[in-house]
Structure 1
Amino acid sequence: MLKLFQYNWQVRDEWFNWCAKISVDELQCTRVGGRGSILRNLFHIVDVEQAWIRGLKGKTEFHYNFNDYPSLKSIRELSIKCRPEVEEYIQNWSNDIENHKLDEFTYGEVIHHVIAHEIHHIGQLSIWAREMGAVPVSSNLIGRGIYDR
């Protein structure tokens, strides 16, 4: 599990760096699909990840308000703020809890959904980048050094 989260975080950080070179207008531009804009997609990825992990930890699910994080910088800071709690949980993941239930879902379903959810939304960013005539961040898992750690 940890390797796939590390992959997602590495790609996410690369997208933050990619976005830093793009105009604010492009980041906020309304687009078809996803959450409707590059910034909203990035925010949604961060928010959903932390909310599901909070649920798995037995905490009250909490969602941040996009209006409180209107810039690339603020969304990146939110990602940095939320990651330690997620990372700690994932580092302590045990297959023994995979079949435990969170409402009507198993922990295993939820954790796999969180991984796939980010990959899905990152794919939308790649499409939008191409529509802008830009080269997207590579989403290739191979060659990232994640499995060398």
Structure 2
Amino acid sequence: MKTLFQYNWQVRNDWFSWCNDVSEEELLKPRVGGVGGILQTLFHIIVVEYSWICDLKGRPDIDDDFDQHASLARIISLSKRLHPEVRDFVYGWTDKQELQTVNVTHPATGVSETFRHGEILSHVIVHEIHHIGQISVWAREIGRQPVTANLIHRGLFE
């Protein structure tokens, strides 16, 4: 699981670099099939990852207002600010945590559900991969080569 988080973080940083060569207008443009545009989707990935880790740690969540972060620089800054806490949690993960449970109340609905910790971490991994796939399609729509999704040659097993 740790390797897949490392993979996601590398790919996310590759997308941040990729965004440097795309106009802010293009990055903010609403797209079909996602949570908004490219920047809004990157923001969503970061906030969802952090939110689930907060749930697992029994900590309060952060404000997820995209309008306060609607620039590449602000989103990269947010990612850098939240990443150490997420990284430390993931690197401290042990197999015995896999089946522990946590009760999560969804803010929008007030509905509470119980999840296993391993289920949540697996969800966070595939959630990011799913949205990165959407950004890859949007990259091609604007005539740009997407970031490689290849796990091979990333040095994750060295």
Q: TM-score scaled by structure 2?
A: 0.91
Q: For the residues of structure 2 that align with 1:31 and 1:123, how far apart are their CA atoms?
A: 13
1:132 is aligned to 142
Instruction: Note the C-alpha offset of 1:63.
Output: 3.7
1:79 is aligned to 79
Q: Which amino acid aligns with 1:131?
A: E
SS of the aligned residue for 1:102 comes to strand
Q: For the residues of structure 2 that align with 1:131 and 1:22, how far apart are their CA atoms?
A: 13
2:38 is aligned to 38
Instruction: Note the C-alpha offset of 1:61.
Output: 3.0
SS of the aligned residue for 1:105 comes to strand
Q: For the residues of structure 2 that align with 1:23 and 1:61, how far apart are their CA atoms?
A: 31
Q: How does 1:1-149 map to 2 (within 5 A)?
A: 1-103=1-103, 104-148=114-158
Higher normalized helix content (fraction of residues): 1
Quickly say closer, same or farther: Cα 1:99–1:63, change in 2 above 3 A. Answer: farther
Instruction: Note the C-alpha offset of 1:81.
Output: 0.4
Q: For the residues of structure 2 that align with 1:63 and 1:117, how far apart are their CA atoms?
A: 19
Q: For the residues of structure 2 that align with 1:53 and 1:12, how far apart are their CA atoms?
A: 18
Q: Which runs of 5+ in 2 are unaligned?
A: 104-113
Q: For the residues of structure 2 that align with 1:42 and 1:118, how far apart are their CA atoms?
A: 9
Q: For the residues of structure 2 that align with 1:16 and 1:62, how far apart are their CA atoms?
A: 21
> 1:7 touches 1:146 (CA, 8 Å); kept in 2?
yes
> 1:40 touches 1:66 (CA, 8 Å); kept in 2?
yes
Instruction: Note the C-alpha offset of 1:30.
Output: 1.1
Q: For the residues of structure 2 that align with 1:119 and 1:63, how far apart are their CA atoms?
A: 23
Identical residues among aligned pairs (%): 49
Q: TM-score scaled by structure 1?
A: 0.96
**What is the number of residues matched between the two proteins?**
148
Q: CA RMSD in A?
A: 0.9
